[in-house]
Amino acid sequence: SNGYQIDNKPILERYTGDMITSGYCELCVPVILV
Length of the chain: 34
- pLDDT value at position 9? 97
- pLDDT value at position 2? 85
Asked whether 5 and 30 are in contact (CB, 8 A), the reply is: no
> Which strand (E) or helix (H) includes residue 25?
none
Condensed to tens digits (0 to 9), the pLDDT of residues 1-22 reads: 689 999 999 999 999 888 888 9
- Angle at the Cα of 4 from the Cα atoms of 30 and 8, rounded to 5 degrees: 35
- Which residues are CB-contacts of 21 (< 8 A; sequence separation ≥ 6)? none
- pLDDT value at position 17? 87
pTM passes above 0.75: no
- pLDDT value at position 20? 87
Banded model confidence at residue 30, pLDDT cuts 50, 70, 90: very high
